[in-house]
Amino acid sequence: MEELTESAIPELLAVKADNEREFYALYSGVQGQLDSIRDKAQKVYEEKIEDLYYQINSAIGVLHPNHRELTSFRMTCSDRYHNDFDRKYQHHFEKLKQSQFTDYEALYSQLMAEHERIKNKFTCHQCGDTIPLTKVYFIVSHLACPSCQTKNTFKPSTLASRLEEIGRGLAEQRTQHLLDKYHQEQQRERDIYHEAHQLKLNISPMKNHRENERYLQQIKELEKRRQDSLALAPQYYQQYQRAMFDEWKRLVPDLAEQTENFYQGLQRRNF
């Protein structure tokens, strides 16, 4: 993970300076690789450690002189996976996230200030009358003079031509708290899973029945909470998407219909 993020971040920053769309495509790819590493680690732990433990445990029994070493091996591997690995994953994921930050609030304010300065300064090349810029034009547009009806070509600034990108970026930043809520619920589910897993490690034929039953009851309650969390997380993500797309439409009203169609397409694909 360290090698992946350390090599990817400089490249991400270089691409970001030239092309935001290419940056996000590359960013998604790196994030996907990180997630793949995490998923593979979980699969390896479950198949190579847990399955091996239960296989050997059932073969030798708790009275075997090496059973204590077997349990110790399992606990050590569990701690490395559930604590050390998770901490490293979160550390590198946060470093990766930092590479994507752009202050879209500041860019949008600059764009609005620019529009305020020029909105009454565009004039007809034929009669010289003012052609009011009633909105932010972000593509080349042909505007009719209100006096002589001559068509005049208006070319937006480099900043104005980024309105669609800036609008989406700002919409995402303004609704980030809702996305954070979704990610927190995902982490909550993983924390509950790890807590239940640690309790499972405490169950042993060497302990009395009442103590094992207490662990089993706690595990059952944790599993109910985990299932509730699994059901809740997608709802939080849908709330974020709806709010983000609504804000995007508000910031770039000319593309409201196109943006809504994009949102509806995502919903059909996800559900």
**Residues in CB range of 39: below 8 A, 6 or more apart:** none
What integer pLDDT is reported at residue 23 of this predicted model? 82
What is the structure's pLDDT at 65?
81
Residue 7 and residue 90 in one domain: yes
Q: What pLDDT does 66 receive? A: 80
Q: Are residues 114 and 153 both part of a single domain? A: yes
Q: Judge whether 225 and 244 are in contact, CB under 8 Å.
A: no
Element (H, E) at 204: none
Specify if 168 maps to a domain.
no
Whether 3 and 97 map to the same domain: the answer is yes
One domain, residues 2 and 96: yes
- Does residue 226 contact residue 195 with C-beta atoms inside 8 Å? no
Task: From 85, 101, 117, give the residue that closes a domain.
Answer: 101
Contact status, residue 96 vs residue 9, Cβ threshold 8 Å:
yes
* Burial status of residue 142 (CB atoms within 10 A of its CB: 0-12, 13-18, 19 or more): exposed
**Does any domain span residue 80?**
yes
Rounded CA separation 113/107 (Å):
10
Co-location of 263 and 186 in the same domain: yes
Same domain, 211 and 135: no
128: region left, alpha or beta (phi > 0 left; psi from -120 to 50 alpha): left
Range of the domain at 262: 175-271
The verdict on 1 and 86 lying in the same domain is yes
Residues 155-171 have a mean pLDDT of: 95
Residue 93 in tokens: 């994921």
Quick check: is 136 in a domain? Answer: yes
Residue indicated by tokens 């479950």: 46
Q: What percent of the chain lies above the pLDDT cut of 90?
A: 51
Taking every pair of Cα atoms in the chain, the longest distance, rounded to a whole number of angstroms, is: 101
Do 11 and 38 share a domain, yes or no? yes
Q: Which two structure tokens, joined as six digits, stand for 159?
A: 């900043």
Q: Which of 47, 52, 38 is nearest to 82 (CA)?
A: 38
For residue 46, being part of any structural domain is answered with: yes
pLDDT of residue 189: 93
Residue 76 has pLDDT above 80, yes or no: yes
Whether 42 and 56 share a structural domain: yes
pLDDT value of position 13: 79
Does the pLDDT at position 101 exceed 80?
no
φ, ψ of residue 123 to 5 degrees: the values are: -120, 155
Domain count for the chain: 3
> At 153, is the secondary structure helix, strand, or coil?
strand
* Model pLDDT, residue 149: 96
Give me 196's structure tokens.
Answer: 């239940």
Is residue 78 situated within a structural domain? yes
Q: Does residue 65 sit in helix, strand or coil?
A: coil
Q: Is the pLDDT of residue 249 over 90?
A: yes
Residue 218's identity, in one-letter code, is: Q
The CA distances from residue 235 to 157, 176, 211, 224, 228, in Å, are: 40, 15, 37, 17, 11
Q: Which residues contact 60 (CB under 8 A, 6 or more apart)?
A: 66, 67, 70
Query: pLDDT confidence of 237, banded at 50, 70, 90?
Result: very high
Look at residues 72, 101, 130 and tell me which one is the last residue of a structural domain.
101
Q: Which tens digit of pLDDT belongs to each residue from 180-236?
A: 999 999 999 989 998 898 888 777 776 788 888 888 999 999 999 999 999 999 999
243 is a domain residue: yes
Confidence grade of residue 148 (pLDDT, cut at 50, 70, 90): very high
Q: How sure is the predictor about 150, in pLDDT bands with cuts at 50, 70 and 90?
A: very high
pLDDT tens track for 8-57: 888 887 887 777 778 888 888 988 898 898 888 888 888 888 888 888 88
Shared domain check, 185 and 152: no
Average pLDDT of span 101-105: 87
Report the pLDDT value the prediction gives residue 77, as an integer from 0 to 100: 87
* Identity at 111, one-letter amino acid code: L
Instruction: Check whether residue 5 and residue 65 sit in a common domain.
Output: yes
Q: What is the mean pLDDT of residues 141-163?
A: 96
Last residue of some domain: 57, 78, 101?
101
DSSP assignment, residue 141?
E
Residue with tokens 């509806």: 264
Q: Are residues 21 and 114 in the same domain?
A: no
Judged on CB neighbours under 10 Å (0-12, 13-18, 19+), 48 is exposed
The answer to whether residue 167 sits within a structural domain is no
- For residue 269, pLDDT over 70 is answered with yes
Of 72-81, 122-131, 149-158, the poorest mean pLDDT is in 72-81
| Confidence (pLDDT) at 271 | 55
